[in-house]
Structure 1
Amino acid sequence: MTGAQPSATREQSATGGTRTAGEPLRIAYSPCPNDTFVFDALAHGRVPGAPALEVTFADIDITNGMAERGEFDVLKVSYAVLPYVLREYALLPCGGALGRGCGPLVLTREAGPDLSGRTVAVPSERSTAYLLFRLWAADTVPGGVGEIVVMPFHEIMPAVRDGKVDAGLVIHEARFTYQNYGLHKLADMGEHWEATTGLPIPLGAIIAKRSLGEETLTLLADSIRASVRAAWDDPEVARPYVMEHAQEMDPAVADQHIGLYVNEFTAGLGEDGYAAVRGLLTRAAAEGLVPALGPGALSFP
């Protein structure tokens, strides 16, 4: 079943209640090229024996909240939200996004200031970017940062430029556009993470309700792997779905996006992937940023 843009009615119908046998799995993921590339074959019924999907598109800050409220059967979320949802949801070992050289940046108006006691704007406090920032600050800002201000992502760079905040945490395309605002890169959170751990950056995870049962969870994981491989085998088949939802993104940029975020860890987390997730959440818990993971919290199914 193909996806549709979310609506209030559709989202409300996908919350709560019990599923009946044969009913499609209710899934929400972003319209970003990496997600549509990964799920193209599965969402369009081209994976033999796979469960049917009812797809809703929503940005990850929205799906994080959906997960905390127990909405939807399957969700793409930030790894940072896992400690809050793993009682109800299981982490799938595939389909998500981990990467290298793609971390968030801390930007300032002047080059190289000390952030001790300074005000920093962030797009969310429930994100891998925020956890990476706080871990970086714990290592490099002896006095500790000052006030954290949450604001919409698109407002952060103008706020730093205009002196409304002392620094801003930015992600994704801002890596390539911050100089247009006359800003300076103070630090790269991904570089710090990779230098101190040697591990990839855990960005987005696929989770599914434990109540679906071991058989369905295993089938879902196998189907997602098959969908990833189908897209790799023939990327042109996935292109219409990718570009339909890419918000007028240049096809070459969409390809770069896919190349960066759909990689070996998408097909299977593997030892390094699980180590990255466990390392991030363990360090964050030690800093009091998230609840500690319980025993076996990351196990599947």
Structure 2
Amino acid sequence: MKIAYSPCPNDTFTFYAWAHGRIEAPLPEVVYADIDQTNQWAEQGTGPEMMKISYGALPWVLDQYQLLPCGGALGRGCGPLVLTKDTYTEPVQLSGKTVAVPSERSTAYLLFRLWAEEHVPGGLGHVLVMPFHEIMPAVAEGTIDAGLVIHEARFTYPEYGLHELQDLGSWWETATGHPIPLGAIVAKRSLDAAPLASYIRASLEYAWAYPDETKSYVREHAQEMNDEVAKQHIDLYVNEFTRDLGESGYQAIEELLGRAAEKGLVPSFKETSLW
């Protein structure tokens, strides 16, 4: 079977053991793709049987894909950031401005839209979808006014001389008390979810038990990231929610997507379709 996930350290760490035959499971064929690509595949129904997608894309694909209870990214203190140059110090200054986002189907984009409705009177100007690794250079060069960034950008944005205008994770946690749903693992509804979940958990447990063994694989697919940043990335995004969403995880997902559906940002869905 084919599995698609990103080359980011949290995914390569989590799936290392399964992808390398270190656990009792059928060896998968791995496809590496950024989250915008997998979101598109899932919506079009053209992707692999199992994929990492954004929670923000989930309402569009629930007729074809089921949410697995493990393997994804959900947590606290790990939300997307709105970055600007130092000339922008208040959210109101984004009114009418151009903002780059990594995907229109991403959790980051949903959080940004929900936040902007409350804090950017008059609304944004133009929202531009851009590969996430291009966003910070574009903000630094002044090509765009602000950028919405994810993942390791939390640790590296000062290198570009950029300013954190808003930590959307902190805003979300303060407003709701919930952790932040970021990336989901989904599988075709024709597949049995139980063994897939057991393989993911076994792979994760192996990585936690033998973290040094994962390092070369993580480094191979995160070549522009030093080892310390990669470790910070893993420590932040791989947690107990990766092992199991649990009741609090599902509640957070329902809160985010429910709010977004009320605003017309995602299709309405039945909460039971998440379980």
- The TM-score normalised by the length of structure 1 is 0.83
Larger radius of gyration: 1
Question: Could you say what secondary structure the match of 1:137 adopts?
Answer: helix
Q: Which residue matches 1:266?
A: 242
C-alpha displacement of 1:236: 2.2
- Name structure 2 gaps, 5 residues minimum: none
Question: Could you say what secondary structure the match of 2:273 adopts?
Answer: coil
Match of 1:62 among 30, 37, 47: 37
Go from structure 1 to structure 2 and tell me whether the alpha carbon gap of 1:161 and 1:253 turns closer, same or farther (over 3 Å shift). Answer: closer
Match of 2:205 among 225, 229, 248: 229
Greater Cα offset, 170-179 or 87-96: 170-179
Q: Which residue matches 1:123?
A: 102
Match of 1:200 among 162, 179, 191: 179
Q: Which residue matches 1:51?
A: 26
User: Contact conserved, 1:157 with 1:181, CA < 8 A, in 2?
Assistant: yes
C-alpha displacement of 1:67: 1.2
**Number of residues of Structure 1 aligned to a counterpart in Structure 2:** 271
Match of 2:5 among 24, 29, 34: 29
Write the deviation string for residues 149-187 of structure 1: whole angstroms up to 9, x where unpaired. 223334433443444433222223333343444432221
User: Contact conserved, 2:254 with 2:271, CA < 8 A, in 1?
Assistant: no
Distance 1:166 1:111 in 2: 9
User: Contact conserved, 1:30 with 1:58, CA < 8 A, in 2?
Assistant: yes
Alignment root-mean-square deviation, CA = 1.9
Q: Which residue matches 1:141?
A: 120
Distance 2:263 2:173 in 1: 19
Q: Which residue matches 1:112?
A: 89
Greater Cα offset, 74-83 or 60-69: 60-69
Distance 1:243 1:75 in 2: 21
User: Contact conserved, 2:152 with 2:229, CA < 8 A, in 1?
Assistant: no
- 1:96 maps to a residue whose letter is G
Question: Could you say what secondary structure the match of 2:274 adopts?
Answer: coil
Distance 2:116 2:165 in 1: 12
Q: Which residue matches 1:15?
A: none
User: Contact conserved, 2:151 with 2:233, CA < 8 A, in 1?
Assistant: no
C-alpha displacement of 1:35: 1.0
Go from structure 1 to structure 2 and tell me whether the alpha carbon gap of 1:283 and 1:150 turns closer, same or farther (over 3 Å shift). Answer: same
Match status 1:85 vs 2:61: yes
- Give runs of aligned pairs for residues 162-181 of structure 1, distance below 5 A: 162-181=141-160
Aligned residues with identical type, % of pairs? 65
Regions of 4+ moved over 4 Å: none
Distance 1:180 1:45 in 2: 38
- The TM-score normalised by the length of structure 2 is 0.91
Distance 2:134 2:221 in 1: 23
- Name structure 1 gaps, 5 residues minimum: 1-24
User: Contact conserved, 2:152 with 2:233, CA < 8 A, in 1?
Assistant: no
- 1:116 maps to a residue whose letter is S
C-alpha displacement of 1:295: 4.6
Question: Could you say what secondary structure the match of 1:296 adopts?
Answer: helix
Match status 1:292 vs 2:268: yes
